[in-house]
Copies of this chain bind each other. A is one copy, B any other.
Amino acid sequence: MENSKVTPRTLPGFMELLPDEQILFNEMKEIIRNSYEEFGFLPLDTPIIELSEVLLAKAGGETEKQIYRFDKGDTDLSLRFDLTVPLAKFVAMHYGELSFPFRRYQIGKVYRGERPQKGRFREFYQCDIDIIGDNELNILHDAEMPMVIYNTFKKLGFDDFTIRINNRKILNGFFSSLSLNNSAEVLRIIDKLDKIGIENVKNCLAEINVSTDSINKIIDFISITGTNNEKITKLKSLNINNEIFSKGVEELESVINAVRLFGIPENNFVVDFTIARGLDYYTGTVYETFLNEYREVGSVCSGGRYDNLAEFYTDKKLPGVGISIGLTRLFYKLNELNAVRFSRESIAKVLVVSASSDITPCLPIATTLRTAGINTELFLGDKKIKAKFKYADKLNIPFVVVIGEDEILNNTVTLKNMKTGEQFQVSIQEAIVILSKS
């Protein structure tokens, strides 16, 4: 069956980019990584495969259904579905070897067997940072997260984005003061405020038997507007008498003050009492981030504070705070919207080509350029010079160095700028200076 070929194809829901887009994707990953390292986060790289027993210690419901789980020999294995559970495992395993607060970043692929649809991926990169305390963790760490978000999205080329900050204790304390027994449902309705409007929120709340008095208080609560300071003042004036609520307000004020001290401009963060981020995981500060020109992308970076990272593995109390960027989806969306602001067009800065059929004189030239720190590709195919220029063009390589008989005689190279079309015969040293500068 010599000629029966297998059709080459990639699974739906798995991103596989052509090189020009992969260059851009990698650039984005690098910017995020450098931003995380700027804040002193330490790298981790945990396995993609874990024992199901370990990975699913906590999971249930949706997660468990989506997981890639299989046996190898008689071992029950699963692919990680996030980077938080592996972190919990790692910290519990290596508690005695780590220095706390333990700051780690991890950028890696995770797997969720979701129904594939446009912009939804089954294999995708998460870019996570977390700070884990040993028994306690200063509230000021909660202010580091917005600073990392701010720094990262500025470096990705964005200015007009808003980090929304809340504290779950405010919501929890408020609901507790109303003696609601269905706060999860209430939260879900509030969450739709932007979509359905105030009146519909009222109706929905009435439908699940929230008292008129409570509905009015909820509407007062979610209708608070103004500057960040005004919002906190108005919140206090609601006179809600609940310890958890008061603790939440106090924490939020500390975080907001610290966020200002870090230097985040006032227009890049807002206090938003309605955001909740997952119903049972976060226990304090929570974050969402929106690109204001591209609201349809949804939150591009979210996270929050949790009381106990690794309770399924250890009795140690390990409070933490963290954020995550879903890189694969974000890249896909930005690309689709033509909203990629950073750029990197090529790997090689220069293509060295021969003007004659003898290519060998190009070899030491390429080495000289590389030794000077210039990414250099050598064209070794037996093509006409025009085809060689076309190749550079297709790969967006900004310069071509041509070596012909003339250049060999004069001990020069011809350097062509592919964008302007200009070309000069210069010494190799001059070429290096020009290439290094541009």
Contact = CB atoms under 8 A, between A and B. Distances in A.
Interface of A: 3, 5-11, 14-19, 22-23, 25-26, 37-51, 53-54, 57, 68, 70-73, 75, 77, 88-90, 92-94, 97-101, 103-104, 109, 111, 113, 122-123, 133, 136-138, 140-141, 143-144, 147, 151, 257-258, 261-263, 310, 312-315, 347-348, 351, 359-360, 363-364, 366-367, 370, 375-378, 380-382, 391, 394-395, 397
B93 A9 contact: yes
Nearest to A144: B378
B18 A347 contact: no
Which 7 residue pairs are nearest across A and B when measured between Cβ atoms?
A40-B377, A70-B70, A40-B348, A19-B42, A261-B363, A14-B47, A6-B57
B49 A262 contact: no
10 contacts: A5-B315, A8-B93, A8-B314, A16-B47, A19-B42, A19-B104, A22-B44, A138-B381, A151-B370, A262-B367
A14 B25 CA distance: 27
A97 B313 CA distance: 49
Contacts of A360: 140, 257-258, 261
Contacts of A99: 391, 394-395
A377 B39 contact: yes
A370 B38 contact: yes
B10 A89 contact: yes
Contacts of A93: 8-10
The count of identical subunits is 2
Contacts of A366: 262
A39 B370 contact: yes
A95 to B, nearest CB: 9
Given A113-B72, A315-B5, A381 B47 contact: no
Contacts of A19: 42-44, 98, 104
A380 B40 contact: no
Given A359-B140, A363-B258, A109 B48 contact: yes
Between A9, A49, A97, A144, the greatest number of chain B beta carbons within 10 A of the residue's beta carbon is seen for A49
Contacts of A378: 39-40, 144
A319 to B, nearest CB: 12
Given A93-B10, A263-B364, A38 B376 contact: yes
